[in-house]
Structure 1
């Protein structure tokens, strides 16, 4: 019996972008059975009535507040009935055979807890964004995105095995793996939550995989913008939080010395040189980690519509 797939996506103030994603699913998907769940994450104007007219077969959930990336997706899970859960950003567009290929890989590898496809940039469709991740260097909280900004000549198409991390723009996992590992951690709000989720899934005994025979296109940073105080805050806050949640005392101590002694002064000098007002934002991110527990739901940042 064919396993059911639930697509879950989250919208925030860009309903026209979600329209394009839904159009791509209805035009290019051939997998069945499939259900689509759209969570509106506290948009200033409720787009669901218009969507219900245009896409009546889709399930909709409206949150009156912005719950963040993990919170919005976890809300979608409440209505998902699929054996496999496919989380895709609303600023993606799918390609033919995408879902079939990922499902087939999970069926063939029951030890796999989560998988991502190849990702290319939508605006530069022959350029790679993601062909897997290298393992994390926990002492610096840095790893590399394989293939990013390279023209896709098929040079990574043989990569169909394990990888360091999935990409949050498109990730599929069996419901059984999610039930064992737990839901995506919501205290990140934005950035690093999918990497933390991978750590949870690995601790539950599963592997992380990629299949470069499956392809999705991504419109990068639609909701946040390429440079913003919000992005700088959560990228730094959550980099620290990730290490605090996933490493032992020795690694954490080394990382704090590295971050405070090298990363912080380097970033502040960069902000001054580029005339960007983000120094206080960086210090705010550091202070949050010094004063909050690793499970704190206090974001330290006012989220506005």
Structure 2
């Protein structure tokens, strides 16, 4: 890991638009006031079927617009943005966030002060909370090897400055995470088999296995309009959260831990969810939960994880590790 000596490295901010041009423009409006002097912004439109993403470039001509011919999901869309980036540091930022003018400098400082920093996330505040002072994320605890669930530090607490420090943490938050380009070249791109949810946790495991650490930066703050893309309790979210929870455990826990998780999931989690969703007559969510479980009973051959390759002319392309079943 090289020493960080560049005073103002270029930061490439990458965000995904999917049927939310107005929301994306609100983020870009806030980014126009950023005080950090070396920034480029890349917006990847993920093949929005019911939107007019042209308005983004019309209102913000300083943005690099990338149009994907298909919906690549959260990870795939961000990886496409990486191919069009030039920065030494890459900040993956949800389009349903807004930022404070000085939020970037502390993140860059953490990278500069901690050569082992592989991922850095700021403090995240619920945008719609009263007074905008309710915490969504101030670091995270490791995902439990039995339940497959993690927890966020500070979640739903009133922000009174109790999490202003910078410290190592177990996981980043996918709504806002800075990753040095060097780390992506070493550990690989965001694993896109997930499509939505859990990909940042798996990516964090990949990066930690390469000897890097994850940091929470309490002196940087952004605001998150939670679940504007998928809905708080949508069938889409239920399906991918169920499916991907199992994928994550299979890929990132020992065989014994994975077996313990499966026993917990089959005999406790499945009955609990079926009972809860049936009692509430949430039949669409129940069907989505069933599809997420059933996916693992089918035979799937998955393409390998995406890896960033550098061409002789300095441009990037995506290659793949060997495929898995």
When the two structures are superposed, what TM-score results if normalisation uses the length of structure 1? Answer: 0.94
Paired residues of 2:76 and 2:195 also in contact (CA < 8 A): yes
Tell me what 1:135 maps to. 142
Picking from 29, 45, 49, the partner of 1:44 is: 49
Whole-Å separation in 1 of the counterparts to 2:122 and 2:66? 26
40-49 vs 9-18, greater mean Cα deviation: 40-49
Picking from 176, 181, 194, the partner of 2:200 is: 194
Tell me what 2:291 maps to. 284
Which residues of structure 1 form unaligned runs of 5+? 298-305
Change (3 A) 1:241 1:173: same
**Aligned with 1:24: secondary structure?**
helix
Whole-Å separation in 2 of the counterparts to 1:294 and 1:199? 22
Q: What is the RMSD of the two structures over their aligned residues, measured on CA atoms?
A: 1.4
After superposition, residues 1-305 of structure 1 pair within 5 angstroms as 1=6, 2-27=8-33, 29-45=34-50, 47-124=52-129, 125-158=132-165, 160-277=166-283, 278-293=285-300, 295=302
Whole-Å separation in 2 of the counterparts to 1:156 and 1:49? 39
Tell me what 2:3 maps to. none
TM-fit CA distance, 1:169: 0.3
Note the alpha carbon deviations across 1:180-225, whole angstroms, 9 max, x for none.
0100000101100000000000011100110111000000000101
Tell me what 1:302 maps to. none
Whole-Å separation in 2 of the counterparts to 1:291 and 1:119? 38
Whole-Å separation in 2 of the counterparts to 1:213 and 1:42? 35
Paired residues of 1:241 and 1:294 also in contact (CA < 8 A): no
Paired residues of 2:46 and 2:68 also in contact (CA < 8 A): yes
Paired residues of 1:130 and 1:145 also in contact (CA < 8 A): yes
Paired residues of 1:233 and 1:285 also in contact (CA < 8 A): yes
Whole-Å separation in 2 of the counterparts to 1:69 and 1:184? 9
Tell me what 1:303 maps to. none
Whole-Å separation in 2 of the counterparts to 1:294 and 1:246? 18
Paired residues of 1:245 and 1:294 also in contact (CA < 8 A): no
Change (3 A) 1:51 1:204: same
TM-fit CA distance, 1:293: 4.6
64-73 vs 7-16, greater mean Cα deviation: 64-73
TM-fit CA distance, 1:50: 2.2
164-173 vs 131-140, greater mean Cα deviation: 131-140
When the two structures are superposed, what TM-score results if normalisation uses the length of structure 2? Answer: 0.88
TM-fit CA distance, 1:280: 2.7
**Aligned with 1:3: secondary structure?**
coil
Structure 1 segments, 4+ long, off by >4 Å, are: none
Paired residues of 1:161 and 1:209 also in contact (CA < 8 A): yes
Paired residues of 2:172 and 2:204 also in contact (CA < 8 A): yes
TM-fit CA distance, 1:294: 7.6
TM-fit CA distance, 1:252: 1.0
Whole-Å separation in 2 of the counterparts to 1:252 and 1:67? 28
Note the alpha carbon deviations across 1:258-302, whole angstroms, 9 max, x for none.
1000000000000011110133322221121232458359xxxxx
Whole-Å separation in 2 of the counterparts to 1:294 and 1:169? 29
- How many equivalent pairs are there? 295
**Aligned with 1:161: secondary structure?**
strand
Which residues of structure 2 form unaligned runs of 5+? 1-5, 305-325
